[in-house]
Chain A
């Protein structure tokens, strides 16, 4: 390893780890070490082997070959999270808390303090309160998990880990679901943990964040170890290049201007729903329209209402010049309007099914011939989609849950496009996917627009809104606060509208 001699000895070390699932190799002789009091970022494209490496470091998987060393001594980690006892804790992306129990019950789950054979609630509550105070988290030990925000739940996970004397904390995309404010709180926690000597491994696709909080960065590509370097030696651009192994100068495709006379395909006027207040906008043929704003600003709610996924209270919707009332999802689809959810795991794909039934589910009526499903046509559609969207998998019979995030997103895109929509709404097109796949998706969106499809991109990532959209609508608290075009599309302007510092006088 490249360890400088002055650095403290590593707590945990992975030496020449290889891992195969059946015949499929996913890691090739990867080494990594984590020292006390450091933040070690693990980055790579989806499918690069980050998750596998994390699971090996925490005992959830056994390496096929190679060695794990704990405090310099070869160790074999017990499976299924029992490595917690050795001080190695993995915090899963989908947090692992019992929703109906309280904070204190969760923290002490499975190892409650006992007095005379009964749970010593007083002592447990005090212990949890102490940890909460340390971390500066403003919740009570008796709060129920289900009543907490995602950020607070994550903090509870961290408290849980700390209370178990974690020396190594491994986190899978901890900030993916956090708002910017919550992310800052999270950074402060990381800093505190670091100072107390905990070694932290975290995976992130946000390279700016890696640059900001990591001490060292390990880059994986296609299961291979590429490099481990102090983060001050790296820029986000360099990290991106090392992850994909090629220049990424053309992350965003060149912008093609929309014809100002292009027909208006969607005109919404005075739309009101439970979370949306009097929203009006229009969309032209071949246009890429961005919807920006903070999380919870009502962007998703607007389009779920238009596409029949949520009830409409009032307002009119004109589709291709025709007034349409509230539609069902199927009617919207038949009219050429399709919504791609941001929640691909819960609302987008059937994770325990194969690719094929997933691909054709949305456009299934198209595949029905004589009351039965035309399986040959489905098969052809899958082959086409795999080629068109570059879905990479060694085994087309694999269940979708085992695909990497990027491939899932491509499959979801393929599923929505299977019904040939004229208007497609893509909610968070690149959430949790790697930079290489992001680039592919941006180019795909641009190509769609060039073909005359109108695309709405809802995104919380400002660079991508700025990079691919012709026009940007900013929302705040259920209202549209601004519409930006041309040079006005920049982070500053968007942020001012999104934060409510500036507001356009509409109508």
Chain B
């Protein structure tokens, strides 16, 4: 965000510190890549990098939605369960449609349509319960998290829902094929990221999200329809979960109670590492993308090296989250005196 201030006081020292803050996640990712390369030069092989990007796509797409929710002062814990439930229903719908629609593209499109409608609906439920129902977002989404998770277990009867083998063949390229050298999930990730960035930084809606997260009363007095904007953030979140699920289902072709476990926390972690403030009022889509990449990169590097056990993946991610937030504290400005 560069903003010209014409004729007024020239450049302020403040901007330098903000740039450092903004660049933090980028520098961290760069450092991680260098470490990865030093540990194992194969880290930067094309195959590994595309794999890394593809794997980041799920969390990344969901985290873009989470950026809106968190920026507007909310939180959504239900996304992982929501993804599992959507995947489960998608598979059931597609399997049942094979008889009438065949195993071709129409069935897959039907599945995707169902996913999008479910995502929007689930998001709306979260949003309406927090705004109209006036229940804390944490509690609402804790509740829906449990509900969605148990629904998928119920649908799968405690086991696994598997996609019809032929439909799987039709659907497979959505995860495994590439366009211009990049896998489809990465393209979806890029598209969602660009749309998210434009929406948050260039539209009135994005400004309203920031204002609401910053101070809801001020937003209300500034003629902002707070309930509608907040509900919309949850709908955007639901839509992002749909997209992530649509590209996730063809990967394994199945859904079970363990699908999408802990995705909500990874998404929130990506958002926070990226510099978005957890209590709202300040959101950065670019940072969120970097945050998602950082989380995946850590796991990837641990896979590549024997130095640290792969089982310590969570430890490393946790450390990174804590360090990132520590470095982003507002009074942590290089070359600037602290102010109490």
Contact = CB atoms under 8 A, between A and B. Distances in A.
Contacts of A372: 198, 202-203
B6 interface: yes
B330 to A, nearest CB: 9
A438 interface: no
A222 B223 CA distance: 36
A80 B6 contact: no
Contacts of A367: 204
17 contacts: A80-B340, A309-B220, A329-B222, A346-B218, A347-B220, A350-B218, A350-B281, A353-B211, A356-B3, A361-B218, A362-B223, A373-B202, A395-B8, A395-B12, A396-B8, A397-B15, A398-B14
Contacts of B281: 350, 352-353
Given A329-B223, A373-B202, A346 B217 contact: yes
A22 B6 contact: no
A362 B217 CA distance: 13
Contacts of A328: 223, 225
A415 B219 CA distance: 13
Given A328-B225, A357-B211, A397 B5 contact: yes
A350 B215 contact: yes
A378 B222 CA distance: 16
B336 interface: yes
B132 interface: no
Contact of B215 (A80, A346, A356, A371): A346
A15 interface: no
A378 B169 CA distance: 52
A310 B14 CA distance: 40
Contacts of A225: none
Interface string A36-64: 00000000000000000000000011000
Given A395-B14, A397-B15, A347 B339 contact: no
Interface residues of A, number: 43
B13 to A, nearest CB: 6
Interface in A400-457: 415
Interface in A334-380: 339, 341, 346-353, 356-357, 361-362, 364-365, 367-368, 371-373, 375, 379
Contact of B207 (A21, A351, A361, A395): A361
B4 interface: yes
Interface string B10-36: 001111000000000000000000000
B217 A371 contact: no
B214 interface: yes
B309 to A, nearest CB: 42
A329 B218 contact: no
Contacts of A333: 223
A396 B12 CA distance: 9
B210 interface: yes
Contacts of A21: 339
Given A341-B221, A361-B211, A396-B5, 18 more contacts: A333-B223, A346-B215, A346-B218, A350-B214, A351-B215, A361-B219, A361-B222, A361-B224, A362-B223, A364-B207, A365-B204, A368-B204, A371-B203, A373-B204, A383-B8, A395-B9, A395-B14, A397-B15
A379 B222 CA distance: 19
A70 interface: no
B100 interface: no
B218 A347 contact: yes
A260 interface: no
A330 interface: yes
B218 A357 contact: no
A66 to B, nearest CB: 18
Nearest to A419: B223
A463 interface: no
A346 B340 CA distance: 21
Contacts of A80: 340
By CB atoms of chain B within 10 A, which of A333, A341, A353, A415 has the most? A353
A353 B214 contact: yes
B76 to A, nearest CB: 23
B104 to A, nearest CB: 36
Contacts of A394: 9
A79 interface: yes
